[in-house]
Amino acid sequence: MALNVQTVFARQFGRADNYRIPSVIRTKAGTLVAAADERFFTARDNPNRIDKVVRRSTDNGETWGEQIVVCEEVGESKNDGSAAIDPCMLYDESTDTIHMIYSHTPSGIGILNSKKGTGQDKDGNLYLFEGKKRYTLKNGKVYDDGLEDKDYKVADNGDVFYKGESAGNYKLNSGKLKELATSYLYITSSSDDGLTWTKPVNLNYQVKEEYMSFIGAGPGVGIVVKEGKYKGRLIFPIYYNTKQTFAVLMLSNAIIYSDDHGKTWHRGLSPNQTRKNGIFPINHKFLMPTDMITESQLIECEGGLLKLFMRNHSPKKLIATAISEDGGVTWKNYKHHKQLPQCICQCCVINGEDNGKPVTIFLNAADKSARRNGVIRLSYDYGETFEYSKLIKEGEFVYSCMVWLGNGEIGVLYEENTKHEEIQFVKVSLDYIKQK
């Protein structure tokens, strides 16, 4: 049986030749909102000009509306363009609000050369630099040691004006003032099923530490806890780097959470702060390359227990899992899942329902040597064991994201190959996965 594949993100719907990093959620109105990176100068990660875009479907993925720009960055070249990279969305049904986090970087900055620091003060105001001199940006005004410097004005998009004249943009090489050359975790929200989005808010001062250089989102989706002590908690997966030396990565993941519907955010501990390599505790600030854990997704198990599924750099080439009993603040039982091969690539996992009982659905490039062969799997014990599996995309298969559609169907948004020119959508039924 052939699956009906649709193209959701591509040049014919947008403004760029390359699209990456799928995220998709479903609202209580039944609207599907799909998000992606719109990458302007090659398909590569930052440094690059990368915007955040979405498309919506009001008929459960049968058709899709016009592309909407959620976050528009600036710049006219790969090395002089700012980025909003890697969307991760969740839907809070209690407030009918979609939240999206992503990582912002100024021109020339990516995961390998982000500087350590938050780039903000304790109140969330952005630091701007003129050489080594530091200013503070607050409500479009520039302050020097608490006093307003009236020579400067800054627009919402980062354009800088000095004595009434254009002075570049603080996100670009042209800026007379520049933001710290690091990674920033931003959040934007929509209360109308993805039609319009709020002005992005910088979360670094709430969830990033000064010893961190890179900080990134998910990518994929977050969850809202449905049961137990932490019911209503919003949770996003993130990961971060603790090394500043160029081309050296020491990556760990964690979650950020909100108990007030997204007004304030906190970061939990990383599994790398509680696990051991043999008998020795792992130092999450100074990691061996094989101990790195990065992009992750999570599900809620019975009673509000959380389970994290992680891309990792172990030579075992298996997805790692860990359990949290305190809403994502700490993690235990770190292990590699023997049924889940990986090629050091992102995975996705969600919960659904099969004839009244919970079912966990997992999808990734199920190959230990290359990003290929998208295999979807079903578990009836929250991912401890997987009873059914089905190859849904032979050959190249990269990042993906799933959404529960109801009526025994899953929506899959995925990168079909490493050219990264299109992102596809397909519906897959539980019955199809179970077929021999």
Is the distance from CB of 347 to CB of 340 less than 8 angstroms?
yes
What's the distance, CA 178 to chain centroid? Answer: 25
> Which of 38, 45, 416, 421 is the catalytic position?
45
The residues with which 136 forms a beta bridge, in sequence order, are 127, 143
Give the three-class secondary structure for 360.
strand
Q: Which two tokens stand for residue 315?
A: 């030579």
The answer to whether 212 and 241 are in contact (CB under 8 A) is yes
**CB-based contact 253:207 (threshold 8 Å):** no
SS3 297: strand
- Bridge partners (DSSP) of residue 9 are 423
Exposure string over 122-143, b if 16+ CB within 10 A, otherwise e: eeebbbbbbeeeebbbeeeebe
**195 near 68, Cβ under 8 Å?**
yes
Query: Does the active-site annotation cover 96?
Result: no
Catalytic member of 159, 179, 291, 295: 295
Angle at 244 between CA 243 and CA 245, to 5 degrees: 100
Residue 416, C-beta contacts closer than 8 angstroms, at least 6 positions apart? 393, 396, 397, 398, 422, 423, 424
Catalytic annotation present for 295: yes
Please, where are the H alpha helices in 190-290?
Answer: 204-207
Active site residues: 45, 295
